[in-house]
Chains A and B, each alone.
Chain A
Amino acid sequence: MVKAMRQMKVEEKEKEKKPKFQMNDHIDILIEVLKRLDGPSLGVAACVCRLWCTLTRSDSLWEHLCFRHVSSPPPSSVRPVVVALGGYKRLYMVCVRPVLSRLRNSDSELVWTRDEVQLSLSLFCVDYYERRLGGGATSASSLMFLCNPVNV
Chain B
Amino acid sequence: MSNTSENPNPSSSSAKMTLKTSDNELFEVEEAVAMKFCTVKQYFEDEKDSDVAARGSTTVIPLPNVHSAVLTMLISYGKKLPQSNAVADNHEEEETKKKERKKYEQGLLKNLMPGELLDLISAANYLDFKEGLEFFNQALADHIQNKSVEYVRKFFGIKNDYEPHEEEKYREEYAWAFEGIECWLIGELKQFMAKTKTLDIAGTLLGIKPALIVASFSVRGLNSLDSNILKPEMIAPGENILAAWINAIGPTGLDSNT
Which residues of A come within 8 Å of B, CB atoms?
6, 15, 20-24, 26, 29, 32-50, 52-53, 93, 97
A23 contacts B137, C-beta separation under 8 Å = no
In angstroms, Cα B149 to Cα A107, docked, is 30
B153 contacts A48, C-beta separation under 8 Å = yes
A40 contacts B137, C-beta separation under 8 Å = no
A44 contacts B178, C-beta separation under 8 Å = yes
B153 contacts A39, C-beta separation under 8 Å = no
Given A22-B157, A44-B149, A44-B177, also A50-B246 (CB < 8 A): no
B121 contacts A43, C-beta separation under 8 Å = no
Within 8 A of A (CB), among B25-74: none
A41 contacts B146, C-beta separation under 8 Å = yes
Size range of the chain B interface in the assembly: 35 or more
Given A36-B141, A41-B145, A44-B174, also A23-B180 (CB < 8 A): no
Within 8 A of A (CB), among B151-180: 152-153, 156-162, 167, 170-171, 173-174, 176-180
Given A33-B141, A41-B146, A47-B174, 14 extra CB contacts under 8 A: A21-B119, A36-B138, A36-B142, A37-B141, A37-B144, A39-B177, A40-B177, A41-B147, A44-B178, A47-B149, A49-B160, A49-B162, A50-B161, A97-B176
Measured between beta carbons, the chain B residues less than 8 angstroms from A36 are 137-138, 141-142
Measured between beta carbons, the chain A residues less than 8 angstroms from B152 are 44-45, 48
In-complex Cβ contact of B161 among A6, A41, A43, A49 (8 A): A49
In-complex Cβ contact of A23 among B145, B158, B161, B162 (8 A): B158
Measured between beta carbons, the chain B residues less than 8 angstroms from A93 are 176
In-complex Cβ contact of A33 among B140, B148, B157, B176 (8 A): B140
A40 contacts B176, C-beta separation under 8 Å = yes
Measured between beta carbons, the chain A residues less than 8 angstroms from B145 are 37-38, 41
